[in-house]
Structure 1
């Protein structure tokens, strides 16, 4: 697969993820965050399971090396980061707007190269530093010029962004080492579902009526956002870098804002629009500036 085609798959992923913010928020009117997360990831895992089993069968009957213990541990670790990122996002989105949720989640973009530098000694392009500062300034204006106006949901979204960054980085390493993107997707989805179900059993009360009431949201956020989009991410990241993947998938912040405006009628203040613009330009510069220099 060419890098261009891989990037197009990541763009489709961003469209699905951005629109899924609406489903995630409206679902909270009927069901708790843990059960919602558990069921949607179980549904996503079932969607991709046949493809994962087929990939496993092909590897078993080919000359490719079998997966090592390190590969399996890496896949489970992806599931751990995926669970923490998803549940903090789901808790936060019930207390903030879809627009804020999208833009604050987008903070994972400058975090990816920053973490690669800190933990893996991979020197990022110089643009990461002004971009990170720009994201901080944008977040300030998104809050209306006063961080105290941020509610707990906004802070949950920022915590979520840290673990989305870790998930993207880990997926990039694991999928290259294992060369098994569909198996990786299947394992991390099942792991995330199990962790969320464990939390749900201890913290929430199950109700079939609640699940039925959130049926459409669960289907959209599970079958499409998880089963399709995360699988596209795992496949595409075999052919493009972690930072590239982060910037393209950051387009979800715009699609989230668009979906929030069209479906929920959300609007920002003038300061909020300024902050959103600064954040998006900062996110975009992480990838655009290095490409301009190469050209």
Structure 2
């Protein structure tokens, strides 16, 4: 019996461990929108982001000191690039949460999935598949419904626009992690990218009009430390899992995040309009469609490989 269980573990569960870990990350990620909105009652956005990632760096740095002192220039470059994308992504998302609900923010952020093949095309001239293009179209339609607009006159408010920017940054982060993770020291880069994310967030405060530091607050300390530890765990899992999981597959798994955020938001009283729910549903469908590959095509690729 033990031998059989070991075989099942080795053949079926272990190969899926990165995927399962990433699914858990999306469940954890979905809670952060509500927590950030609470945190914004005691802090300005970029200061909150800076404190959050400073706590995340401290959490991982304690266990990565030996790796940090041996980091290379390439590790530093990779960490700075990923850290910058994290700052833009989380910073713009946090600013946007001052104007829109957590559930709405989560669905807008999910647009990063259709953005991944678009950015891959811009950066690497990798032509998107037909399904990816269809996903982009569905995502656009979902965006219109989610934002409460009509197709004749599309107008996003500031919170919605800046959250779309967040989606671009998250898509860039996923691509950068997949590009760098096989080439760098995982532990040192994970810690350093969090340090750079915190540093860039603090440096950006004057640029977004944050000229003063919020007063001390137990709520602020508790939330930034808690979210910092969660962010450290999330980034560590992302870097570890995306060594073997393709960016497109990772994007599909992360698409579960707005669903969890919507569930948590509903539990705490956030209610989306029928139009917004339809738009959010179309965004999730666009995610699945954009990464769908017909069975015949997959089999043809395997045959060609052999």
Q: Which residue in the other structure is 1:234 paired with?
A: 239
Provide the TM-score with structure 2 as the length reference.
Answer: 0.85
For the residues of structure 1 that align with 2:63 and 2:72, how far apart are their CA atoms? Answer: 20
Q: Which residue in the other structure is 2:204 paired with?
A: 199
Q: Which residue in the other structure is 2:41 paired with?
A: 29
Q: 1:37/1:111 Cα in 2 relative to 1: closer, same or farther (>3 Å)?
A: same
1:251 paired to 2:230: no
For the residues of structure 2 that align with 1:212 and 1:201, how far apart are their CA atoms? Answer: 24
Q: RMSD across aligned C-alpha pairs, in angstroms?
A: 2.2
Q: Which residue in the other structure is 2:187 paired with?
A: 182
For the residues of structure 1 that align with 2:155 and 2:129, how far apart are their CA atoms? Answer: 33
Provide the TM-score with structure 1 as the length reference.
Answer: 0.88
CA contact (8 A) 2:60 2:232 kept: yes
Listed as ranges, the gaps of 5+ residues in structure 2 are 1-12, 300-306
For the residues of structure 2 that align with 1:41 and 1:18, how far apart are their CA atoms? Answer: 18
For the residues of structure 1 that align with 2:29 and 2:19, how far apart are their CA atoms? Answer: 15
CA contact (8 A) 2:111 2:167 kept: yes
Q: Which runs of 4+ in 1 moved over 6 A?
A: none
For the residues of structure 1 that align with 2:17 and 2:126, how far apart are their CA atoms? Answer: 26
For the residues of structure 2 that align with 1:250 and 1:75, how far apart are their CA atoms? Answer: 24
Greater CA drift, 125-134 or 113-122 = 113-122
For the residues of structure 2 that align with 1:47 and 1:72, how far apart are their CA atoms? Answer: 19
Listed as ranges, the gaps of 5+ residues in structure 1 are 61-66
CA contact (8 A) 2:134 2:290 kept: no
Q: Which residue in the other structure is 1:117 paired with?
A: 121
Deviations 1:212-243 (A, max 9, x none): 2323322332111x111111111111111111
Question: Helix, strand or coil: the match of 2:108?
Answer: helix
CA contact (8 A) 2:102 2:261 kept: yes
1:156 paired to 2:168: no
For the residues of structure 2 that align with 1:70 and 1:56, how far apart are their CA atoms? Answer: 13
45, 48, 51: which one aligns with 1:39: 51
CA contact (8 A) 2:75 2:189 kept: no
For the residues of structure 2 that align with 1:137 and 1:75, how far apart are their CA atoms? Answer: 35
Q: 1:291/1:24 Cα in 2 relative to 1: closer, same or farther (>3 Å)?
A: farther
Question: Helix, strand or coil: the match of 1:289?
Answer: coil
How many pairs align? Answer: 283
For the residues of structure 2 that align with 1:262 and 1:95, how far apart are their CA atoms? Answer: 20
Deviations 1:75-127 (A, max 9, x none): 21111111111111111111111111000001111111221122112343321
Q: Which residue in the other structure is 1:141 paired with?
A: 145
Name the larger-Rg structure: 2
CA contact (8 A) 2:190 2:235 kept: yes
Q: Give the CA deviation at 1:166.
A: 0.9
147, 158, 177: which one aligns with 1:171: 177
